[in-house]
């Protein structure tokens, strides 16, 4: 019985995990969005964060930011997400003011820190089933 339960549980996990092709599609979409910021002189930071996004289960990514720089945090998800949002928090967990951008399954936030240090980027799916997401950021 225990083995059967573990098999069912493993199958459920597998069926809910973002596939590589979904993550690649989300990354292509977020790179398209971030291309708009490059027209304003923003450089794309190496690396990205990706995975599954579920409604009411926000994802947090910690980043170290520096005074004097300006940042765009961009995220995209596949169409199942319906609507996503992005927010920035300081190291104490307080939200910071950003210049937001939202377009259904793509969202972005522009932020210029007043203090160097760790910040947290929160990604939230407002509605829809599990979806793949990809987060990147640009700076200048």
Within-domain flag for 4: no
Residues 31-64: pLDDT tens digits?
898 888 888 899 998 889 998 888 888 999 999 9
Within-domain flag for 2: no
Looking at per-residue confidence, does 13 or 100 come out higher?
100
pLDDT of residue 63: 95
- Please tell me the total count of domains within the chain: 1
Within-domain flag for 9: no
CATH number, position 35: 2.60.120.380
Within-domain flag for 5: no
Residues 60-104: pLDDT tens digits?
999 999 999 999 999 999 877 788 999 999 999 999 999 999 988
- Residue 13 CA to residue 67 CA, distance in Å, equals 41
pTM: predicted TM-score of the whole model, two decimal places: 0.82
The parent domain of residue 59 ranges over 19-139
pLDDT of residue 19: 84
pLDDT of residue 16: 56
Q: In the predicted model, what is the mean pLDDT of residues 5-33?
A: 66
- Both tokens assigned to 109: 């936030």
Handedness of CA 45, 48, 54, 60 (dihedral sign): negative
pLDDT at 8 over 70: no
Within-domain flag for 127: yes
SS3 annotation, 127-140: ECCCEEEEEEEEEC
């Amino acid at each position: 019985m225990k083995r059967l339960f573990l098999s069912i549980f493993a199958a459920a996990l597998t069926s809910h995990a973002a596939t590589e092709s979904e993550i690649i599609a989300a990354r292509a979409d977020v790179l398209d969005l971030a291309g708009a910021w490059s027209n304003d002189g923003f450089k794309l930071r190496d690396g990205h964060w990706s995975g599954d996004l579920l409604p009411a289960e926000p994802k947090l990514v910690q980043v170290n930011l520096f005074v004097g720089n300006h940042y765009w945090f961009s995220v995209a998800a596949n169409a199942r997400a319906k609507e996503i949002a992005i927010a920035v928090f300081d190291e104490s967990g307080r939200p910071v003011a950003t210049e937001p951008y939202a377009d259904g399954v793509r969202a972005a936030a522009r932020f210029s820190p007043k203090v160097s240090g760790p910040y947290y980027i929160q990604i939230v799916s407002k509605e829809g089933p599990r979806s793949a997401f990809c987060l990147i950021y640009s700076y200048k």
